[in-house]
Structure 1
Amino acid sequence: MKIAKFPHLRIGRRAVASLLAGAALLPLAAAVHAADPIKIGAVVSATGPASFLGDPQQKTLAMYVQKINAAGGVLGRKLELVLYDDASDANKANAFTRRLIMQDEVDVIVGASTTGATMAMVPQAEAAKVPMISLAAASVIVEPVKPYVFKMPHSDRMAAEKVLGEMKRRGFTQFALLSDTGGFGKSGRTETLKLAGTLGMKVAEDQTYGEKDTDITPQLTRIKSSPAQAILVFGTGQAPAIIARNYQQLAMKQPLYTTHGQASTEFIRIAGKSSEGIRMPSPALLIAQALPDGDTQKKVSVSYAKEFESQARMDVSTFGGYAHDALFLLVDAIQRAGGTDKQKLRDAIEATKGFVGVSGIYTMSAADHMGLDVSAFRMVEVQGGAFKEVR
């Protein structure tokens, strides 16, 4: 389903051809070309199981495209957002990517919301040499580096590093891993197992669950009786909230950690009181107001949270934050590239240095198409129905 196409003044190909036919009209044709829109294609999961990711992303992109256009656009050109809802289906994401490239002729692609959908899009973006900025997290999206593919979220490896480092500081030497069988969970499990070995930590239990499971009590029961001193849940969607409730029902004592896949107030809403005490790595956005005034990310984070909550009438989320950062990093790259030539734009994105977003401070390179390290994460804990930084 196509969510929205944000219109602007368009000139048909035949009209342009007619103008170019007369040499006397070449200056006018050049002016028309200069005024052509910058076409940003997007694929997000606005509906379906991953809508908690895609809905705020859709709202964020639409809101800021409108704001940028009201301020005059970019390089004197309006932005046109061509956005499709993949309904949390990787096959639809693949089909929409083909449409964006072949039919809509976009200059760049933002999306998808999930790892599975993103990986279904990557081959087409690479083959067509269209720059693509993913809003999904798994390391496999940019490792190995793919010339035209970038991503905004912190990686699964970074989340594992932040959580296991926190566990180790608390004196825990063995933990239980509970990961979902989707793309993010699988990749996260692989990264966590590798990292545990390098840190000298033992995985006392290695359990999995389905993304649509409604009861994870059996896996948690095994973990409860294991020597695990803490638990890491690696997954997205609503299942981690169910895990939190099952965890409380079993009166488990091992500290419970999740990843940045639950870094939103929606998780607290679904899990309710069962979310109390859960810790997770998060971008600065969720604790924006509590950041010290000297924090580089405070201004942009507070501004985005205020604008989004005012216009969308819903709590800000880190997932919408990734869309915010993708759009503004893209605008910055277009300005540095001097336009939308795809090769120059790709090069400009790769050359991004010190870009301050709500999710971190991005510095990309030929070897790094994410541009963040573990310092972009803050460890937070749910306290009194809100996120508080663990210092």
Structure 2
Amino acid sequence: MAKGEAILALADGRIFRGRAFGATGEAVGEVVFNTAMSGYQEVLTDPSYDGQMVCMTYPEIGNVGVNREDVESPRLYLEGFIVKEYWPQPSNWRSEMSLDEYLEQANVVGIQGIDTRALVRHIRTHGAQEGIISSIDSDPESLVRKAKASPGLVGRDLVKEVTCVEPYEWNVGEWELGRGYREVQFELRDAPFVVAIDYGIKQNILRRLVSTGFRVTVVPAWYTAEQILAMNPDGVFLSNGPADPAAVSYAHETVRAILGKKPVFGICLGHQILGLALGGRTFKLAFGHHGANHPVMDLRTTRVEITSQNHGFAVDADSVRGKAELSHLNLNDRTVEGLHGVGMPFFSVQYHPEASPGPHDSSYLFQRFRRMVEAFPRYGAESLERVLAEEKAAM
């Protein structure tokens, strides 16, 4: 294969030829597309993309470079990166290196110069599927065989690959111009205490929790309910994460044992795990929701929020009927985007109110969690309903 050439091969036999960038080599994963116009560094460092290769639909990527601050985890978790046009000369006052260098240092393979519009249309028509990017194998038939042999995401527990190995405290708030990220440990000495279960947590979730006024300790996904309740938190947060929620049965058991004992807030995979803990079911979406422009309706207020999303599975609405109230609905495909507890203090959303990247329409949910935690000692099981009633009265 000529230097600089790369091939993307899908499991169904579709071939795309382009040019290599990032690391030299080969990578296999589920090919998905992300519709965000910016925020590629946050996408690259989101642990929820473990096991996947991401195609950006925006045509020019790399023009703002990479910096050490705009990260959602300590490293890159995605398998490969696909763009229409990579821009090698970044122009931004915060840029510290090029995207090409960043991918190469992280050993992530990339391909550029393909028709990403054709790829996205193919995925929308035929569904997300396994694929392979290679800059070392020029035989399309060989690459298709390798893509077909990839196990896919259904039934796979990738949470164990991205969760932390031991508990840690988080005391960093949101980014401020001229100051960067600010530690606020002293200010939070007497704040409500939240345990965040790490299924692949994005750092901006932790920053938002701290900025909302919580003391936060992050624990591994395999922590039991007994271990978490022994820490006596005021609330429990369930994080985002990768792959199939049905495969992490240990997480279902933990959440089931916590529900009703502590206020609970879940996002993305945490939302799906909560649904499964209630006895519900999840299913795989045809090509998932990945981007920063997805419309979601709050069914109580009919308010529409533009949301950031990254998931390939969804909660089956009928499976949780009578166990939780459907609170939010995706206006593109009518899938479940949120749940409220019925006589139990929990709520969850499928999308990402912390954004990063994306709009901030839903950031109020962190304040809702704070108010529910504060109401719980007095109102117990009715604390969420109390908070929702107060929000409605204030509208």
* TM-score, normalization by structure 2: 0.33
More helix by share: 1
* TM-score, normalization by structure 1: 0.33
More strand by share: 2
